[in-house]
Structure 1
């Protein structure tokens, strides 16, 4: 049988030969040890209230279900939404909610009773930490619920049905009790339906370059346009969560963003306009940015951003873009404007500038700062006088952060580093929440920053907390995690006397701890719920490839591993690009992190006896403009170094090794099979294998297909399918929503290899996106990977 094409309605399996016997029309379950781990609830998520007095423990549903994924969904203009609830798909449901005091470690936890019916999701604290909000999905819509910390009780806000098609998991707080949300218009009528009379769909481009990425779920027909407009149209509504009162503000529109300006005096809104595009997602459609009174009345139109077509690769719009509202009483509005026409290839002294407009918003904006490179981020300090302004040098893959005075003098450089830098990374500033819900940088009146980071080093991560003086840029280390625990700072309390951290070890799940000097007071007491993983051995292994570039991998040995055994081994990796070889060798991860594997992690194969070399570094080093010219040679050099090191360690048999990866890692894995004989088998999940179908760039590639034709062709393993002699397992989500990795990429590769007589298996997971979220899918993916590796590397317990 040269080729057998079989579609299973549930597990969506396509295969070329019945190598793995299984019943039709069913998802498969992995081995009992793996199944037990999949069915163990996830550890609760810990969310600290803004006032640092309470922590919410959210027990989230670990997986959705195949039935959940099959709910009626629309995929329009690059977005996906649940039709019944006008909300996002694949939400993580809250199964249990508990509250614990951070002031009294002995106080008992309090359960918040979640009423039956519907699915609660999207927990958010009110700015003062005295209340919180939750959304509940029902078949009639998405409701808004509010909870009181004092009583641990929930109640619904009457008459509110949220519309989260465009504005998802976002609310604009005016103060701790008032917020603005987007809701369904009361009188929107029935959804558009297809008319009997059809017409051609016509697109036209006349003499203007528009290098667009390959986006999924785009509009295709006039009916799609009408459906998008119908479902995305929303109404602004004011809500008082204390009293439950609400009222509509203004007229319905395609609102895509709403935020509070100042101390709740005004609103900054963005709404989508026609014409729509069939080649771009909705967030590239024309948009109008407006200032409104808090009652919804229009105050001033700030700009109309045109369709984002004709923009150069890695370019930006030429006019105003990226708007920020000051969270302080001054109520200023800031935005960014390009000084290079939006084209990164234009040579200019300054590429972007920051603009500001002050109340009453009737005058002309002022220029605040010019930047030599492209704007990246703006974060306000809590002194109301400064902000942190970050830019990115695209040519060097470099970032720089300034202290920006919002009025008056010029900015002051604070720190800069490579985008890939880990060892010298200064960390991220600790933030605090204002009464209007805005997140601002803690600064002690503009005098200092508190910077928390992972503390990467050649021996692994050791989180730290530093105090940066904004006067002389001196740095004082206040805390660093010990060599026995991974402890991430969360907040500095009582003028620095006490430190709140999230502390974990290889055998202890993350728990909140209050640290006063060397005295530790546990604030939460989560226990290890997967003790079987403590038998897994984990070791950071450092080595060099042939040209001297430093590399590493995390070696995971199965629970039953015995010294001297050479087990079948899976190498799991993801390529990363670097302009500096020294940075390419930097280590990530820590031996002290709590082992808790995701449902589709290849590390679950440890329970079946395989050795897994995880997060194996796969550096691609060179000039960022032409980096991919040597992609094949560098991943080959990397793979040889990994195999040689695993053989030297005595844990792997080089003749029984497989390579795997997800997304760009899958692309890497298939290229290794196509261009080398280093591995006996491969696992490729949700990848892209024909680069001519992503002709305007991919990953970090900035050149188009017509500028680097040979590179695109050589890096398309589909064109080298005749050289893939090793067994290849392809897995893909049927509804992949990632740009450039639609499921037909795997389907075409499967057809090519099968047609050429190769050994290949293609698993198409129904309704799954780029990542796989259903419990049935997770179990089936684990079963597929295990069976494939056993079939082609041998049973780990059977010997060579």
Structure 2
């Protein structure tokens, strides 16, 4: 039995939970055919463009894995989930076929010589795009492959030697060599678990505050430590196109590697002891070294300590260097940020963060580039006279962008965007990037004009656009915009004037496809791809973006789906499934903004509520559930009141449209949406039934913050109590279905959250059902699990929502 499952069962037994009454095995079930057929629809290929946009890679992904695949041995340590047989991740959705498609002319070319049983990933083009590298996962390991893009022929370069435990296991040099992170050939046999423990497991605090969020899959004992060290043990190697290889630098627990733009130096991060039982591997101590590309150590840039004692709050960070990266506009210049407040956002300080640079050969002193009174949000480089510097502050949702002159650090940053990150109506978007002579992505601009792409939020919904933004005058000029009845956005700009570009165009019933647009030549757009509609059975369903008001005047919105041909005047009311996810805002005006597009393609994911439009339901999807706290008020101080008001307004809207039957409305959500669902059923009798997937229901189990709540339990105990559905389990009178992945690794949503909530509901006589999905994480992956989840949901909705009246008649 899995060690973690054993621990869970022991815990439940310790707390007096009767396993016999709560755990019952059933076989996997399949939902009605109209739902199952949609789940089994073919997936659409992913697309990756080359630099010029002349051609694209078509990545055809495998379908959902089987439960047998998910049940393969998995090692859960240090916040990671590994396949011990491959030294790679245990949960990936790989690519099973690879093609090239020409943008002009549309010719499609099948890559030849692919692995016999393809499980491909990690695709990376060489700088001159003459070769494509990728990894292939077999049952015993991960190998390196390469495609000659002149012949479109693939071939294997190495045996199963790659170490992909932390991703990023390959990188091209300018000379057509590939640097890989391989498993250390000298690491020996996997450590064996001791027959008996050598002693107790001890943790000790010396009095320093060490608040941490709740993490899953942490190290638990010395054997876990030995396993982590074993699977992290790596050796960098350089592989030539003839398959020859040689080691570079010393072996170690290599966390990451990054090659300078000119290919001369490597930044290598190596984890070291002591490990931690409180935080995941991403917060273990590590050294940051600069190597030559042949492996000679040039400098230790930083020695990052164990990050166990980070202050609380979402604007908190680590002390010391972080975000160490290469400047994209320079051959070999590093930049990074250092917090001056010890990482504590509560400290009042004018210069909170300083950004430094250090140029090759790295023998000089670090140079100050710029600073911020907030948190560093990144730099988009252009050249030595122009870069875009981003600052952020989560507490107030502040998002600020400034132009800096890297060649003159004394020149003050010039702010050109200062907005709330939640404000979609006034979001000019993100800079368009191009590739410079170093093969790096840099900002596309003309002097002070920066080319931008934006989602184009508006009161009519999203209408994406391409623009120029003058960083001096702050004037925006829209060059092109999506037009109704389509949802279309620019995905690749092809020239320096942004007059030729590729868009992804879709509509409610039109599958997204790529189009070639040229505004200068004024010729009609040319369709590049012709991906088939994957959901023939729901063509014609009706979709509308509706708006309405909350009782305090706040504007809300939702996307409503109804069956094809449905007319409320003729066909009467329908049962309703309302699906939502609450979001916190610091401004009522911004919370009222319309989000989403009524023209977007109806794409189904495994967790979508839209399946039930085929079963005769009306669906309220993306139902806005804003929780607003302006000024000094925190949104969660009024969570329940606003949540109920949101639900009441949504119900009044769907009923007022003549679509929904007020007595037959179900509500559901995943993760924080599950938390929302349980709260609505605790404090109202508005709904016929609820569905809560993979939620957290007792906030005292996440005492150092959750979602956007930055206060701890001890700072706001009444908020934690009042927001916990567990506190009000005795009030639930509405049937509620709980579903949870048995291997959920999401912070805060431990499976025991559903287990304890179910027992609280059951103990107070509520109508409830708890379903644990074996081997599933926070999101569900196996086809059997997904089909069974949909069967559970359909059975629940049919019994307690659609046929609620018949059920009451029987009573």
TM-score, normalised to structure 1, is 0.94
Alignment map for 1:739-750 (pairs within 5 Å): 739-750=747-758
Residue of structure 2 aligned with 1:596, choices 603, 609, 612: 603
Alpha-carbon shift at residue 459 of structure 1 (Å):
0.9
Higher relative contact order (CA 8 A, sep 6+): 1
Q: 2 CA distance for matches of 1:298 and 1:375? A: 29
1:340-392, Cα deviation, whole Å (9 max, x unpaired): 121100111121110111222112211111101111222222x3443221111
Q: 1 CA distance for matches of 2:463 and 2:759? A: 47
User: Which residue in the other structure is 2:559 paired with?
Assistant: 554
313-322 or 40-49, which moves further after superposition? Answer: 313-322
Equivalent residue of 2:88, what SS?
coil
Alpha-carbon shift at residue 213 of structure 1 (Å):
0.4
User: Which residue in the other structure is 1:407 paired with?
Assistant: 407
Distance 1:487 1:290, change over 3 A: same
User: Which residue in the other structure is 2:575 paired with?
Assistant: 568
User: Which residue in the other structure is 1:9 paired with?
Assistant: none
- Retained in 2: the 8 A contact 1:683–1:728? yes
- Retained in 2: the 8 A contact 1:145–1:156? yes
Distance 1:368 1:108, change over 3 A: closer
User: Which residue in the other structure is 1:500 paired with?
Assistant: 502
Alignment map for 1:501-580 (pairs within 5 Å): 501-517=503-519, 518=522, 519-559=524-564, 561-564=566-569, 565-580=572-587
Q: 1 CA distance for matches of 2:669 and 2:620? A: 12
Alignment map for 1:132-143 (pairs within 5 Å): 132-143=132-143
Q: 2 CA distance for matches of 1:470 and 1:436? A: 25
- Retained in 1: the 8 A contact 2:557–2:595? no
Alpha-carbon shift at residue 107 of structure 1 (Å):
2.9
Is 1:605 aligned to residue 601 of structure 2? no
Alpha-carbon shift at residue 396 of structure 1 (Å):
1.5
Alignment map for 1:26-41 (pairs within 5 Å): 26-41=27-42
Alpha-carbon shift at residue 490 of structure 1 (Å):
2.1
Is 1:719 aligned to residue 727 of structure 2? yes
User: Which residue in the other structure is 2:121 paired with?
Assistant: 121
Alpha-carbon shift at residue 159 of structure 1 (Å):
4.0
User: Which residue in the other structure is 1:57 paired with?
Assistant: 58
User: Which residue in the other structure is 2:628 paired with?
Assistant: 621
Equivalent residue of 2:228, what SS?
helix
Q: 2 CA distance for matches of 1:670 and 1:390? A: 38
Alpha-carbon shift at residue 702 of structure 1 (Å):
0.9
- Retained in 2: the 8 A contact 1:377–1:391? yes
Distance 1:253 1:63, change over 3 A: same
Equivalent residue of 2:720, what SS?
helix
Is 1:685 aligned to residue 693 of structure 2? yes
Alignment map for 1:375-524 (pairs within 5 Å): 375-381=376-382, 383-408=383-408, 409-434=411-436, 438-444=440-446, 447-496=448-497, 497-517=499-519, 518=522, 519-524=524-529
- Retained in 1: the 8 A contact 2:249–2:296? yes
- Retained in 1: the 8 A contact 2:357–2:369? yes
Q: 2 CA distance for matches of 1:479 and 1:798? A: 54
Is 1:706 aligned to residue 714 of structure 2? yes
User: Which residue in the other structure is 1:6 paired with?
Assistant: none
Alpha-carbon shift at residue 527 of structure 1 (Å):
2.1
Equivalent residue of 1:665, what SS?
helix
- Retained in 1: the 8 A contact 2:133–2:147? yes
Distance 1:106 1:417, change over 3 A: same
Alpha-carbon shift at residue 562 of structure 1 (Å):
3.7
Alignment map for 1:12-31 (pairs within 5 Å): 25-31=26-32
91-100 or 28-37, which moves further after superposition? Answer: 91-100
Is 1:194 aligned to residue 193 of structure 2? yes
Q: 2 CA distance for matches of 1:662 and 1:261? A: 42
Alpha-carbon shift at residue 799 of structure 1 (Å):
12
Q: 1 CA distance for matches of 2:752 and 2:109? A: 50
- Retained in 2: the 8 A contact 1:16–1:754? no
Residue of structure 1 aligned with 2:660, choices 625, 630, 652: 652
Q: 2 CA distance for matches of 1:108 and 1:730? A: 46
601-610 or 495-504, which moves further after superposition? Answer: 495-504
Alpha-carbon shift at residue 757 of structure 1 (Å):
1.4
1:7-42, Cα deviation, whole Å (9 max, x unpaired): xxxxxxx999999xxx96421101111111111111
User: What is the Cα-based RMSD across aligned positions, in Å?
Assistant: 2.3
Alpha-carbon shift at residue 495 of structure 1 (Å):
3.8
TM-score, normalised to structure 2, is 0.92
User: Which residue in the other structure is 1:766 paired with?
Assistant: 774
- Retained in 2: the 8 A contact 1:568–1:796? no
Q: 2 CA distance for matches of 1:711 and 1:363? A: 52
Q: 1 CA distance for matches of 2:178 and 2:235? A: 14
Equivalent residue of 1:275, what SS?
coil
User: Which residue in the other structure is 1:373 paired with?
Assistant: 374
User: Which residue in the other structure is 2:12 paired with?
Assistant: none
Equivalent residue of 2:593, what SS?
coil
User: Which residue in the other structure is 2:360 paired with?
Assistant: 359
- Retained in 2: the 8 A contact 1:340–1:348? yes
- Retained in 2: the 8 A contact 1:574–1:615? yes
1:464-520, Cα deviation, whole Å (9 max, x unpaired): 001123454432211101112222112332443422211122222222211123511
- Retained in 2: the 8 A contact 1:255–1:271? yes
Alpha-carbon shift at residue 46 of structure 1 (Å):
1.5
Equivalent residue of 1:503, what SS?
strand
Is 1:313 aligned to residue 312 of structure 2? yes
Alpha-carbon shift at residue 550 of structure 1 (Å):
0.9
Distance 1:378 1:636, change over 3 A: same
Equivalent residue of 2:700, what SS?
helix
User: Which residue in the other structure is 2:683 paired with?
Assistant: 675
Distance 1:438 1:75, change over 3 A: farther
Number of aligned residue pairs: give it. Answer: 780
Q: 2 CA distance for matches of 1:108 and 1:277? A: 51
Alpha-carbon shift at residue 394 of structure 1 (Å):
3.4
493-502 or 518-527, which moves further after superposition? Answer: 493-502
Alpha-carbon shift at residue 407 of structure 1 (Å):
2.1
Q: 2 CA distance for matches of 1:173 and 1:284? A: 28
User: Which residue in the other structure is 1:208 paired with?
Assistant: 208
Distance 1:121 1:394, change over 3 A: closer
Alignment map for 1:176-195 (pairs within 5 Å): 177-195=176-194
